[in-house]
Homo-oligomer: A and B are copies of this chain.
Amino acid sequence: MKYRVAQVTFLLFTLVAPVMSAQDTDVLLSDTQPRNVILIIGDGMDDHQLTIARNYLKGPQGTLLLDTLPVRGVSQILTVQDDDAETPVFVADSANTATSMATGVVTSRGRIATAAGTDKPLPSIIDELELAGFRTGLVTTSSVTDATPSAFVAKINFRLCENPSLMEEVTFYGLNLGSCKQHMKSSGGRGSIAEQLAASSVDVILGGGTEHFDMPAEEGGLSVKDQAQANGFQWLTTAEQLAAAGNDKRLLGLFSSGTMPVRLRGENGREAEEPSPSLLNRISDYLGDVELPEPMVCEPNPEYASVPSLKRMTDAALSHLAAGNSRGFFLMIESASIDKQSHERKPCGSIGEVEQLDEALQSALDFAKQQPRTLIIVTADHSQAAQLVSFDSMFKDYTIPAYTPGKVARIRTPQGHELAVNYATSNFFMEEHTGAQVPLYANSEGVKLIPNYLHQPQIYHITRQYLGLPTK
């Protein structure tokens, strides 16, 4: 599998080489400057999510900061069956996709930096960069134990084993969803995701997830939080503590129990709703009429006020990672709830989280002005269910009521226009992921490095290459 990825990548580099060969800004920079990579992941941030957010936040003629980046390509998502790593699966989850970007290896859904089938732990970019003297950081709006950040540090067979209490059995209303027994410390393993983060050498970990640390570690006695502090982490839980934190100790800042509250929500917490066909239309699709959900505005989520923004966490992480650092760093920044709010059919939530990502990008670009050898990559891990659809059906003149079989939200934008979002991948209480190739952006440092089309694991190899690690 890896061999084939490398082949395709070589082909792509060969094909784009003529475009890139005329450019060389490196001569302007000293080789003694630190080199940094900032990888910004919009979880579920596909072309629909970007267009919905742009239309809402900037208007259809407006421009996200993302749109101005000099590199814009696409990333093809690869996943395989767990029992047969040669058989592709065409729709991914955040665990296997983060594993692709963190380790360069294609694995199966639900796995955190472990190989499909064999359960073999996979070395991550953070493991390798720490050995090479780089600093490292993880910033997310999810719990830091969630799939995307954890794949850069932890190695475990199942993403839901986030804390010691979930290792023997992960249950959902009495239903056994999985287990990580073989990774328990008592079995000679590394323990739960929270324990692995607490034991890590990462310099900055910021996000949500106190619930996974404020509990006894597997051995009993110390809590996972105690273990983290014993391992040298400063423990922060408020925006004020984050602002005041010194650079002398590594940071573990967790600002909410689980996923951090999102910035925007639907009016009075509304989400997408089912259209209400008339009785006659329930009898025949060709009769009667339909009532669509009432339009709504997006409003600030009151819970958001108490937590630091993604931009503030990004600024804190950049400041901490850069202070007195002559080697460089790797920082992963995730806007997690573009995906989570789409699962829950909450378009306002997703829009606010794209805005947070665009603001974090501003911080990254500002930083790169100070340290020009900073490669910024922005991408998504997989695509999502939400579709930008028409407020008026294309078929409204046919007198037959045409409406989605799923759920729809009609949003009034700040400019006073109406924008509709359809969610119709599942009758379940959560929407499904989808399998489209996802956006890939980079700043000017990416112009020589990043082809227009790549396979997601190549992001790992590009990071290694940029930071001067030997080619694998």
Contacts and interface: CB of A to CB of B under 8 A. Distances in A.
B60 A393 contact: no
13 contacts: A18-B70, A22-B22, A47-B47, A47-B437, A54-B76, A55-B88, A72-B74, A90-B390, A91-B391, A93-B394, A385-B387, A402-B426, A424-B424
A55 B439 CA distance: 17
B404 A175 contact: no
Nearest to A455: B61
A396 to B, nearest CB: 10
A387 B425 contact: yes
Nearest to A70: B19
A157 to B, nearest CB: 14
Given A12-B63, A93-B394, A398-B428, 8 more contacts: A55-B90, A61-B88, A71-B452, A91-B388, A388-B436, A389-B434, A393-B426, A422-B425
Interface string A392-413: 1111011111111110000000
Contact of A51 (B109, B424, B430, B435): B435
Interface in A78-109: 78, 87-91, 93, 109
Given A47-B383, A87-B417, A452 B72 contact: yes
A46 interface: yes
A11 B51 contact: no
A23 interface: yes
Copies in the complex: 2
Contacts of A395: 426, 428, 430, 432
**A93, A391, A401, A452, most chain B CB atoms within 10 A:** A452
Interface residues of A, number: 89
A405 B406 CA distance: 6
A258 interface: no
**A90, A399, A402, A444, most chain B CB atoms within 10 A:** A90
A387 B390 contact: no
A69 interface: yes
Interface of A: 4-5, 8, 11-12, 15-16, 18-19, 22-24, 46-48, 50-51, 54-55, 59-61, 63, 67-74, 76, 78, 87-91, 93, 109, 172, 175, 177-178, 285, 383, 385, 387-395, 397-406, 417, 419-420, 422, 424-428, 430, 432-439, 444, 447, 452-453, 455
B425 A70 contact: no
A91 B390 contact: yes
A404 B427 contact: yes
A426 B387 CA distance: 12
Contact of A427 (B11, B175, B402, B444): B402
Given A18-B444, A427-B405, A432 B47 contact: no
A90 B60 contact: yes
Contacts of A50: 436-437
Contacts of A391: 89-91
A386 to B, nearest CB: 10
Contacts of A48: 383, 434-436
**A5, A61, A417, A439, most chain B CB atoms within 10 A:** A61
Contacts of A388: 90-91, 383, 434-436
Contact of A452 (B51, B55, B67): B67
A267 B70 CA distance: 44
A329 B439 CA distance: 33
A216 to B, nearest CB: 27
Nearest to A415: B88
A397 B428 contact: no
